[in-house]
Amino acid sequence: MGKYVIKGGNPLVGEVEIGGAKNAALAILAAAIMTDDVVFIENMPDEADTNVMLQAIESIGAIVERPSRHSVRIHPSHITGYTIDNDYIRKIRASYYLLGSLLGKYKKARVVPPGGCTIGLRPIDQHIKGFTALGAELHNEEGGIIDARADKLEGNHIYLDVVSVGATINIMMAASMAEGKTIIENAAKEPHVVDLANFLNSMGADIKGAGTDVVKINGVKKLHGTEYTIIPDQIEAGTFMVAAAATKGDITIKNVIPKHLESISAKLVEMGCQIHESDDAVRVVATKRLQNTHVKTLPYPGFPTDMQPQMTVALGLASGISIVTESIFENRFKYVNELTRMGACIKVEGSSAIVEGVDKYTGATISAPDLRAGAALVIAALTAEGFSTVEDIMYIERGYEDFDKKLRDLGGHIEKVDSEYDATKFKLKNA
Ligand code: EPZ
């Protein structure tokens, strides 16, 4: 199981390398099986979620080689089945991307319903709307398996009722091998949506407009192999930016695309941080107490919902009162209870948290409720007075590679322990 034991109070200082984007990698791994040629992908993050996705495509016969920790070679021609159903795939959200890719290539797919962080109801009605518009028939089998099949897929004009990253990605994949033209209106514009479109186009797809709210796809009969490098992880980068701000540190975050971080940088400047940008790095310096501000999460290029918990932790230490409004998911403030136990003064009213800055957090035993909230609570513990223990870290390890090591290399006193004995040893060493 594992826990993190943390001794707070040290500013984080130094350099950190950002890995490949988890949410791009999950979509790209699903899309990789749409060809029968070999696909070689670099800058693949080594995280629980991406490794589960690799196991899922192996489970239907694809051969997967790992020439290095961050590269993968996939041989999809060996695929013999189209049913994705096992315990581990039920845990991750992105399992449903295999609906879009299998349906696009084989015109049939049977996939377990998506799991993922419990931050809201997370329906998939827009995915179903898109697949149906392309000519597929979907129904739920007992046990929850979603069965999707089509005699053929035909392009259509699809208007998403809500800006959905997953639905945009899933429909894009299915439409890329449909007959004729598909237009997706009100499409999501996140960097990982664009990365998937670029990946599919490198395989011979014909997708235009990704990154805008109108994506146009001319279906093709076949997709060919490719070699591709995944973009850096916007949210991992943002997490370290906020960690620098909250611990009054000075961190240079390397291997990033600064444009993807603009909304986060802008907020940190409002809070009194200095931001220095270069071509592929962002340096965050926070020497004085943070100032309050207001944050509202929005689809890209707005402030990312996946950065909401981290930002709330930092604002919880800022001077004055801040308001954080979560407009994407309906239940993404669960971590506030844990943070309150560390001394935070936050009141959740509907979709907003009213945050009254306190001078410090105090170490406590806390539990990670989901991936990004877990990372945020680690940041809180790194600022806190005394020792903290963060439990349920499997959520954090789903989307952050070597999280504790990267924080240790920045001067953070954090260790992953598997026993009370090791926890005690850490506390004695850092007393
Ligand atoms: C993706 O989730 C990400 N996950 C999430 O990141 C991220 O928070 C989210 O996009 C928003 O950016 C992956 O990429 C694996 P949505 P997704 O469809 O696709 C509603 C992380 O921490 N909606 O954009 O599930 C939905 O309920 C994770 O890495 C419908 O109503 O998000 C939500 O309110 C957490 N019907 C809103 O749209 C649908 O059919 C946005 O959801 C689909 C979505």
The yes-or-no verdict on residue 88 having pLDDT over 80 is: no
pLDDT at residue number 93: 83
Arithmetic mean of pLDDT over the chain: 96
Task: Give the pLDDT mean for 391-420.
Answer: 97
**From ligand 1's centre to the CA of 78, what distance in Å?**
31
Q: What is the pLDDT of residues 47-67, one digit of tens each?
A: 999 999 999 999 999 999 999
Is the pLDDT at 89 greater than 90? The verdict is: no
The closest-lying atom of ligand 1 relative to the alpha carbon of residue 122 is 27
- Please name the residue whose Cα sits nearest to atom 41 of ligand 1: 164
Label residue 30 by pLDDT band (50, 70, 90).
very high
pLDDT at 241 over 90: yes
Name the fold adopted by 3-19+232-429: UDP-n-acetylglucosamine1-carboxyvinyl-transferase; Chain (3.65.10)
Q: Whose CA is nearest to atom 5 of ligand 1?
A: 306
pLDDT beyond 90 at 117: no
Nearest protein Cα to ligand 1, atom 27: 122
DSSP 197-247: HHHHHHTT-EEE-BTBSEEEEE--S----EEEEPPB-HHHHHHHHHHHHHT
Q: 279 alpha carbon to ligand 1 midpoint, in Å?
A: 29
Residue with the smallest CA separation from ligand 1 atom 8 is: 306
Q: Which atom number of ligand 1 is nearest to the Cα of residue 166?
A: 19
Residue 86, pLDDT above cutoff 90: no
Average pLDDT over residues 110-125: 86
Q: Could you tell me the pLDDT band of residue 288, with boundaries at 50, 70 and 90? A: very high
> Which pLDDT does position 94 carry in this prediction?
87
* pLDDT tens readout for residues 365-405: 999 999 999 999 999 999 999 999 999 999 999 999 999 99
Give the residue-averaged pLDDT of 271-277.
98
pLDDT(1) > 80:
no
3-19+232-429 against 22-229: fold identical: yes
End-to-end CA distance of the chain: 25
The predicted model gives 306-312 an average pLDDT of 98
Residues paired with residue 16 on neighbouring β-strands, in sequence order:
253
Phi, psi angles (nearest 5°) of residue 270: -60, -30
**Residue nearest (by alpha carbon) to ligand 1 atom 10:** 165
**Cα of 164 to ligand 1 centre, how many Å?**
6
Q: What is the pLDDT of residue 356?
A: 98
Is the CATH number 3.65.10.10 carried by domain 22-229?
yes
pLDDT above 70 as % of the chain = 100
Q: Given pLDDT bands bounded at 50, 70 and 90, which one contains residue 87? A: confident
- Average pLDDT score over residue span 103-126: 90
- Tens digits of residue pLDDT in 179-196: 999 999 999 999 999 999
pLDDT band at 85 (very low <50, low <70, confident <90, very high): confident
* Cross-strand partners of 43: none
Nearest residue to 368 via CA among 346, 390, 399: 390
Nearest CA to ligand 1 atom 39: 124
Identify which of 53, 92, 93, 334 to mutate to test ligand 1's pocket (most ligand atoms within 8 A of the CB). 93
Pocket test for ligand 1, best of 97, 146, 165 (most atoms within 8 A of CB): 165
Is there a contact between 70 and 143 (Cβ–Cβ < 8 Å)? no
Task: Give the pLDDT of residue 204.
Answer: 98
Q: For residue 78, count other CB atoms closer than 10 A to its CB.
A: 12
Is the pLDDT at 119 greater than 90? The verdict is no
User: How far is it, in rounded angstroms, from Cα 367 to Cα 283?
Assistant: 30
Could you give the CA distance from residue 88 to residue 180 in angstroms, rounded to a whole number? 36
Q: Say how many Å lie between the CA of residue 165 and the centre of ligand 1.
A: 6
Selected residue with higher pLDDT from 216 and 94: 216
Instruction: Give the per-residue pLDDT at 164.
Output: 98
Mean pLDDT of 23-34: 98
> Average pLDDT of 300-307?
98
Residue spans of the domains in the chain: they are 3-19+232-429, 22-229
For residue 427, how far is its CA from the centre of ligand 1 (angstroms)? Answer: 39
- 287 has a pLDDT exceeding 90: no
Q: Report the pLDDT value the prediction gives residue 121, as an integer from 0 to 100.
A: 83
Across-strand partners of 148?
109, 138
Kindly state the average pLDDT of the residues 409-426: 96
Distance between Cα 96 and ligand 1 center (Å): 12
pLDDT at 355 over 90: yes
Which residues are registered as beta bridge partners of 229? 42
The binding-site residues of ligand 1, defined as CB within 6 angstroms of any ligand atom, are 23, 26, 93-94, 117, 120-127, 162, 164-167, 188, 190, 305-306, 328-329, 371-372, 399
**Catalytic choice (25, 52, 117, 339):** 117
Distances (CA, A) of 272 to 248, 267, 284, 291, 325: 11, 9, 10, 6, 20
> 113 pLDDT band (50/70/90 cuts)?
confident
What is the number of the ligand 1 atom nearest to the C-alpha of 125? 40
Is residue 273 among the annotated active site residues? no
How far is C-alpha 364 from the geometric centre of its chain's CA atoms? 27
Q: Which atom of ligand 1 is nearest to the CA of 162?
A: 38
pLDDT at 120: 87
Ligand 1 center from residue 299 Cα (angstroms): 10
Atom of ligand 1 nearest to the CA of 116: 35
Residue 114: pLDDT band (50, 70, 90) is confident
* Distance from residue 76's CA to the centre of ligand 1 (Å): 27
- Closest ligand 1 atom to the C-alpha of 129? 40
Question: Is residue 255 very low, low, confident or very high in pLDDT (cuts 50, 70, 90)?
Answer: very high
